[in-house]
Chain A
Amino acid sequence: MSPDEGDVRPYTRGRRYRARLWKFIVGAVFCMNPILCVAVVGWTYRLMQRSAVRNWARRAGIAAIAEEFALQHDDLRHLARLPNFVLPQPGAPIRTGGGVRAGLARLFGSFGLNLKIGAQALANTWVLLLPAEVFWLFGWYSGWDVSFNKVYEQFSVGRSIALTGIVLFCLAMMYVPWAQARQAITGEWRRFYDFRLVWSMARRHWALSLLLAAAYAVFALAIVAQPVVLIGYGNALSDAETLADAEIIGHLNRIFFVFTLIGYPSYVALRLLATRAYCRAIVEDVRSGEISVGALAAFERRQLERLGLAAILTSKPRPMVLLRAPRRMLRGLVAVATFLIWFVFVAQIYISAFLVYQSARGWLNQPLVQAPWYRTIPAHLRDGEIAYAHASSRSATFAR
């Protein structure tokens, strides 16, 4: 491995906007495919790391030259510009030597990295959320079997499974956004499982946890909007019965792309919000001595020390005895409110399932939490999907 000597100088303002627009378009297109969508997750994690460095630089009072700060350090040069989706990242270490892998890395270095980071991110998130989501899946089926069996024997089985899933999910989501931020910023998948550190940070910063939950709940409104559009648009298609499957898929693709244009930036915005919350919390906790520098991951320790943010400023005075109980009570109330907001988030998922049921996929992947993948082609149109692909490639050929 050797550092890439490519151009990493900061963009001019105009070029920076063009670059952002380009990344937005490429990301949205990638979100239409389940594999490429994993790369979007990885790209977002890399963006979070870059954002963290900028955030800390701003906190250290060098906001104006955040890019220069990155350029001054070899290990940060690749963060000077927005991450790439496919091409190798300027300033990032590159694989030397010959061979196919090195050749591919030189051509598609960022794509491979995005896929790897994305897969790690999804795997970690699913470790915590999949049990709850599987509970939802089976709870929904078993719960609605009550339609046939009525509210008599064992009617509570399905309901209990679903409720267990909901509680597990809400509890897990009080941890997951923080842990995702930690994994992204440190660049180490194992840091997702620093349970004690992450959980204690989330507990000390309940207001930020509450804010994160509220942001998720608001952005999730699009989750409910999508089925409403599918129902309305689908029923309004006057010639739907005579259209070929491929034509229906064309309609679906347009709808899903529009939702991706909303969902993908929402996904990124939530990650950046989590990044800001994490950066703020970790600096405050390190400075107040709540988290020791030794507990930090190598990447964050290095940056905080460089920026002078790792020193304990003052040891935080313990609150007066009389104030401890009200503070504890307030913290408890905020924790309950956070839980309830996650409950609202789940309610939106359930309403969405009621409106347009998407079987396992609708439960096991939440586009704002796991992969921002909105496009679902119904099973009864799968044959048409092949025809659609042929038709699309043909028209692309003609267009050329």
Chain B
Amino acid sequence: MELVKTGRREFLREAALGIGSLAAGAGIAAAESPAGPAPLPPYSGPNVILIRFGGGVRRQETIADPAHTYCPYFTHELARRGTLYRNMVIEQLEGVVTSHGQGTLYTLTGKYDRYEDVGGKFLGQRFEAKVPTVFEYLRKAYAVPEHQTLIVNGEDRTDEEFYTFSNHHLFGVNYRSNVLSLYRFKTYLLRRQIERDGMSEREREQKVEELEKLEALDYRVSRKKELCPEIEAFWDRWRQFYGESGFVNPRGDRLLTELTLRAIRELRPRLVMVNYNDPDYVHWGNPAHYTRGIAIIDEGISRIVAEIDGDEEYRDNTVVIVAPDCGRDNNRLMPVPFQHHFNSKSSHEIFALVLGPGIRGGQVVDREVQQADIAGTVGHVMGFETPFAEGGVLEEAFA
């Protein structure tokens, strides 16, 4: 009975994979063909760390007024090392929404699009990009292993775990990035616990059920394909250090910082996106949640930059791009004007900082640029084309 059940599940997963990204079709066929395409060249360009100053932040509390910023490191120190775009916007187009999932995908794909939750869930952010992400472009152009293209994701927004590849027929699952998050750690842990001896049958059944429930969320990727030995080893070390309880490791955006630092040390990623999110908790109305969240990200950025500066292979070989996923309202009629981000003018207004080798330092650009330009800029830095991205390149940044 169990066999049948498992078989059907596997079948459904594979079927979903087929429907979700036919793709991958082309990708898989190419990769698995005995004749196969020519081997991809190794990647030797700079690394890119894309930091989502996320959860939606306004210019007012970040870059607008250095005397009243809640991210002093970013504004006073880091900005001097790179090119600051003070007037980046998310274009006002029909169907273009200022929210976290959408902003992340505009950044990753370089295209503004109308996104709807694939399950039709209210407020759901389970989106599937129609055009490739920068991870897919990179991995299709160069021999970069999956574990060196990463999304570092938080605990609250599981939907954003799955922005690792698009539904584009020339790209898709075979060029996807991997994800570091507590969701991934939990599935890893459950698999390990199920393998372990000394567990009662009832307990094992519960763990299996729990694992199935978690894995079912990632319906586009089969379990076998998901397992990546380097990532599994990463989680082994994480478990040794922090244990299994979840009580020891950092929480919220501090967790993301920790995961990123460990990833740099252990996985040597080429392209990473860090999905910070804490400032968004101001939706509950406490302004301190917002400013505290900004300060936590500021601290996280300083630690990531310090890690890069202290690592011989990353120092002078890593470009960091920091940009919010969206802005926030500036609704002066409300006691907390920035409580939400309802597609207002202010929620379309963001900023970006680019720094690293080949990037002009101490430069401020006031020209209006687009969030969708980030993907093209990543392509420009890493040396791949982004033919499906509609944005351009943040040219002023390059020396």
Q: Which residues of B contact A314 (CB under 8 A)?
A: none
A397 within 8 A of B: no
Contact pattern, A 200-241, Cβ under 8 Å of B = 1, otherwise 0: 000000000000000000000000000000110111011011
Given known contacts A140-B284, A231-B340, A357-B285, A152 and B247 CB-to-CB distance under 8 angstroms: yes
B252 within 8 A of A: yes
Does the CB pair B334–A378 fall under 8 Å? yes
Q: Which residues of B contact A2 (CB under 8 A)?
A: none
B246 within 8 A of A: yes
Q: Which residues of B contact A269 (CB under 8 A)?
A: none
B174 within 8 A of A: no
* Binding-face segment, B12-20, B78-86, B325-333: B325-333
Does the CB pair A356–B289 fall under 8 Å? no
A400 within 8 A of B: no
Docked complex: A227-278 residues within 8 A CB-CB of B: 230-231, 233-235, 237-238, 240-241, 243, 245, 248, 251-252, 255
Q: How many Å from the CB of B158 to the closest CB on chain A?
A: 13
Does the CB pair A150–B252 fall under 8 Å? yes
Does the CB pair A241–B285 fall under 8 Å? no
* Binding-face segment, A40-48, A71-79, A141-149, A176-184: A141-149
Contact pattern, B 239-265, Cβ under 8 Å of A = 1, otherwise 0: 000000011000110000000000000
Docked complex: A10-61 residues within 8 A CB-CB of B: none
Interface size class of B (residues with CB under 8 A): 20 to 34
B339 within 8 A of A: yes
Contact of B285 among A230, A251, A353 (CB under 8 A): A353
Q: Which residues of B contact A318 (CB under 8 A)?
A: none
Rounded to whole angstroms, the CA-CA distance of A379 and B334 in the bound complex is: 10
Rounded to whole angstroms, the CA-CA distance of A9 and B317 in the bound complex is: 93
**Chain B: CB-nearest residue to A361:** B335
B337 within 8 A of A: yes
Q: How many Å from the CB of A372 to the closest CB on chain B?
A: 19
Does the CB pair A240–B286 fall under 8 Å? no
Does the CB pair B278–A357 fall under 8 Å? no
Does the CB pair A240–B330 fall under 8 Å? yes
Contact pattern, A 121-157, Cβ under 8 Å of B = 1, otherwise 0: 0000000000000000000110010011110110000
Does the CB pair B285–A248 fall under 8 Å? no
Rounded to whole angstroms, the CA-CA distance of A150 and B278 in the bound complex is: 11
Q: How many Å from the CB of B220 to the closest CB on chain A?
A: 27
A196 within 8 A of B: no
B219 within 8 A of A: no
Q: How many Å from the CB of B350 to the closest CB on chain A?
A: 16
Given known contacts A149-B251, A380-B332, A144 and B281 CB-to-CB distance under 8 angstroms: yes
Does the CB pair B284–A357 fall under 8 Å? yes
Contact of B331 among A140, A147, A152, A231 (CB under 8 A): A231
Q: How many Å from the CB of B337 to the closest CB on chain A?
A: 7
Contact of A248 among B252, B281, B333, B342 (CB under 8 A): B333
Q: Which residues of A contact B155 (CB under 8 A)?
A: 150
Contact of A356 among B246, B339, B343, B345 (CB under 8 A): B339
Does the CB pair B337–A251 fall under 8 Å? no
B336 within 8 A of A: yes
A376 within 8 A of B: yes
Does the CB pair A148–B251 fall under 8 Å? yes
Rounded to whole angstroms, the CA-CA distance of A241 and B345 in the bound complex is: 10
Docked complex: B264-280 residues within 8 A CB-CB of A: 278
Does the CB pair B335–A141 fall under 8 Å? no
Contact of A147 among B247, B289, B336, B337 (CB under 8 A): B289
B292 within 8 A of A: yes
Q: Which residues of A contact B278 (CB under 8 A)?
A: 147-148
**Chain B: CB-nearest residue to A243:** B332
Does the CB pair B284–A235 fall under 8 Å? no
Contact of A234 among B247, B251, B334 (CB under 8 A): B334
A381 within 8 A of B: yes
Q: Which residues of B contact A355 (CB under 8 A)?
A: 340
**Chain A: CB-nearest residue to B333:** A234
Q: Which residues of A contact B251 (CB under 8 A)?
A: 148-150, 152
Docked complex: A275-299 residues within 8 A CB-CB of B: none
Does the CB pair B285–A235 fall under 8 Å? no
Contact of A235 among B283, B292, B342 (CB under 8 A): B342
Q: Which residues of A contact B187 (CB under 8 A)?
A: none
Q: How many Å from the CB of A137 to the closest CB on chain B?
A: 11
Q: How many Å from the CB of A100 to the closest CB on chain B?
A: 40
Rounded to whole angstroms, the CA-CA distance of A359 and B283 in the bound complex is: 13
Q: Which residues of A contact B346 (CB under 8 A)?
A: 241
A393 within 8 A of B: no
Q: Which residues of A contact B252 (CB under 8 A)?
A: 147-150
Contact pattern, A 365-395, Cβ under 8 Å of B = 1, otherwise 0: 0000000000010111100000000000000
Rounded to whole angstroms, the CA-CA distance of A153 and B340 in the bound complex is: 28
B344 within 8 A of A: yes
Q: How many Å from the CB of B254 to the closest CB on chain A?
A: 9
Contact of A378 among B289, B335, B340, B345 (CB under 8 A): B335
Rounded to whole angstroms, the CA-CA distance of A318 and B252 in the bound complex is: 63
Q: Which residues of B contact A248 (CB under 8 A)?
A: 332-333
Does the CB pair B331–A235 fall under 8 Å? yes
Rounded to whole angstroms, the CA-CA distance of A259 and B340 in the bound complex is: 22
Does the CB pair A148–B339 fall under 8 Å? no
Rounded to whole angstroms, the CA-CA distance of A378 and B337 in the bound complex is: 9
Contact of A251 among B246, B284, B333 (CB under 8 A): B333
A195 within 8 A of B: no
Q: How many Å from the CB of B214 to the closest CB on chain A?
A: 15
Rounded to whole angstroms, the CA-CA distance of A356 and B339 in the bound complex is: 8
Rounded to whole angstroms, the CA-CA distance of A255 and B333 in the bound complex is: 10
Does the CB pair A376–B332 fall under 8 Å? no
Does the CB pair A357–B329 fall under 8 Å? no
Rounded to whole angstroms, the CA-CA distance of A359 and B252 in the bound complex is: 24
Q: Which residues of B contact A378 (CB under 8 A)?
A: 332-337
Rounded to whole angstroms, the CA-CA distance of A372 and B381 in the bound complex is: 60
Docked complex: B159-215 residues within 8 A CB-CB of A: none
Contact of B342 among A231, A238, A240, A380 (CB under 8 A): A231
Does the CB pair B330–A148 fall under 8 Å? no
**Chain B: CB-nearest residue to A153:** B247
Rounded to whole angstroms, the CA-CA distance of A356 and B335 in the bound complex is: 7
Would you list 14 pairs from A and B whose C-beta atoms are within 8 A, ordered by A residue? A140-B284, A140-B285, A149-B251, A152-B247, A153-B247, A231-B329, A231-B342, A234-B334, A234-B337, A235-B343, A237-B332, A353-B285, A354-B285, A379-B335
The 9 closest A-B pairs by CB, nearest first: A357-B285, A234-B333, A234-B331, A147-B281, A144-B284, A235-B344, A378-B335, A150-B251, A248-B332
Q: Chain A: residues with CB nearer than 8 A to chain B?
A: 140-141, 144, 147-150, 152-153, 230-231, 233-235, 237-238, 240-241, 243, 245, 248, 251-252, 255, 353-359, 376, 378-381
Known: A240-B330, A245-B332. 20 other contacts (CB 8 A): A140-B285, A144-B284, A148-B281, A230-B333, A231-B329, A233-B333, A234-B334, A235-B331, A237-B332, A237-B333, A240-B332, A240-B333, A243-B332, A355-B340, A356-B285, A356-B335, A358-B335, A378-B332, A378-B334, A380-B337
